[in-house]
Amino acid sequence: MKKVKFAIPAGSLSKATFNLLQRAGYKISGQERTYRPTINDPEIELKILRPQEIPVFVSEGLQDVGITGEDWIKETGANVEILQNLEYGKIKLVVAIPENSSANSLSELMENLWNEGKNFRVSTEYLNIASEYIQKALSYKKRFSNKAPLMVTPWWKKGNNPKAKIFLSFGATEAKPPENSDCIIDVTETGSTITANNLKIIETVLSSSSVLIANKPALQDKDTKEKIFDIMTLLKGVVDGSKRIHIFVNVKKTNLKKLLEAIPALKNPTIAPLADKSWVSVNTILEKNCFIRLLPKIRKLAQGIVVYEPRQVLALEEVTRREEKGCQI
């Protein structure tokens, strides 16, 4: 039996990823001891990889499907199909400089250094994103036009402009300024680590979250595609379920029409008769951010509200339509 090769991320995304998979109904074991944990689906083969690697391996067909960050898809330029934003692992890639610097933008920082006869230096894990971002800065374009900044790694150098050097960072990027770099381009969730290292954020390069991706040729294989869409359906159900609540209310038939007009249900609500024939039970799903606003109306028209969070909301019709359209985003 052919198995779908599913890559899941190690590191900072690991805990939230396993939690997502468990809420989707998957049972996983062995992740503490091996990079090949077992899963309760015989048609899936899991492998734990670094999120930086996953877009490349999925693009090359070495993995059929995977979870990684949008930032690493952009950095690697991987040609993959983004199936679903999983809405966790949210980060920002920012430009940060020493807090005592007078510069208020990357352009200003570079211009100040070049006017002093110095080279501009940046430390980052995101070489390609940094190079593209620097080249778009107004002061850089004025001075160097399309000339590429010099990327520096322990193994190779790329680019032809030593006036702007991008150094590959292997972690602890916040420690590099001011001795080893003039600024950093690094990820942050709250900004607290950057502030603790006497740096300040001056620009946001991009925002990113975890996404489910697939190999495009794999989606052309009928059996593989079916399994990938099964995975997507379950994970999307968790994402959608986290945004909604399930409510049960009892309402007099005379108030039913008013109640239904007040509730923007996900689908038509389920209405069931009660022992007292003048009452019915209404069962529906609401957006969480609507509930507080709707509660006063519901309270006046109904009785006995029961509220709970669904584990999943599976939009099967939506997934089917997407299959028929060929997964286009």
List, for residues 91-140, the tens digit of each pLDDT value. Answer: 999 999 999 999 999 999 999 999 999 999 999 999 999 999 999 999 99
- How confident is the model at residue 288, as a pLDDT? 79
- How confident is the model at residue 181, as a pLDDT? 96
Topology adopted by domain 244-308:
Alpha-Beta Plaits (3.30.70)
Q: What are phi and psi of 47, to 5 degrees?
A: -150, 135
Domains 4-89+209-241 and 92-208 share a fold: yes
267 three-class SS: coil
CATH number 3.30.479.10 given to 4-89+209-241: no
Specify the pTM: 0.85
- Cα maximum dimension of the chain: 87
- How confident is the model at residue 2, as a pLDDT? 86
- How confident is the model at residue 299, as a pLDDT? 83
CATH number 3.40.190.10 given to 92-208: yes
Asked whether the beta carbons of 174 and 67 are under 8 A apart, the reply is no
DSSP 116-139: TTPPEEEEES-HHHHHHHHHHSHH
Cis peptide before 273 (omega within 30 of 0): no
- How confident is the model at residue 311, as a pLDDT? 67
Kindly list the averaged pLDDT for each block of 10 residues, start to end, along the chain of length 329: 93 94 94 93 96 98 98 97 96 96 96 96 98 96 95 96 97 94 94 92 97 97 94 93 85 88 72 90 83 82 78 61 50
- How confident is the model at residue 264, as a pLDDT? 65
The closest alpha carbon to 107, from 85, 136, 78, 67, belongs to: 136
Ordered by start, the domain boundaries in the chain are 4-89+209-241, 92-208, 244-308
